[in-house]
Amino acid sequence: MRTLGDLEALVMEQLWKSTEPQSVRQVLDSLPHGRSRAYTTVLTVLDNLFHKGFVERRRAGRSYVYAATQTRAQYTAEAMEAALAGAGAGDRDAALMSFVDQLTAHEAAQLRALLAERDPS
């Protein structure tokens, strides 16, 4: 499972929020304030994310613009699946049950509805 570091997660959050590919400057300007970050730092993070397969990039003039290769929901689902796979075959059911036990009544109802949509029989 590919994981995100702290700054990578902040950068991905900005890309997930955007409907259009973002330049390094746009990503830098959209990051939460409170800690000064250099343009080159964000450029390096985006390059690393590109090589890890989290973002795609395309030329826009002399530089690149970046977009996420998957949605936040897809990334979260991948992380959940990796966690379940790490539990081992015998513990997968126990891990799922533990997850379900932590759901609120509303979340459990949502899950039931989604499962019913998937398999209406």
Stated as kind and residue range, the H or E segment containing 64 is strand 63-68
pLDDT of residue 121: 65
DSSP state, 102?
A: T
Q: Quick one: tokens of 44?
A: 């390096």
Rounded to whole angstroms, how far apart are CA atoms 94 and 33? 41
pLDDT of residue 85: 82
pLDDT of residue 79: 87
Q: How many angstroms separate the Cα of 2 from the Cα of each of 17, 33, 60, 97?
A: 20, 27, 27, 25
Rounded to whole angstroms, how far apart are CA atoms 53 and 18? 18
Could you say which residues of the chain have pLDDT below 50?
Answer: none
Q: pTM here?
A: 0.80
pLDDT of residue 95: 85
Residue 11 · residue 27 · CB < 8 Å: yes
Domain covering 6-68 in this structure, CATH number: 1.10.10.10
**Residues of each domain in the chain carrying CATH 1.10.10.10:** 6-68
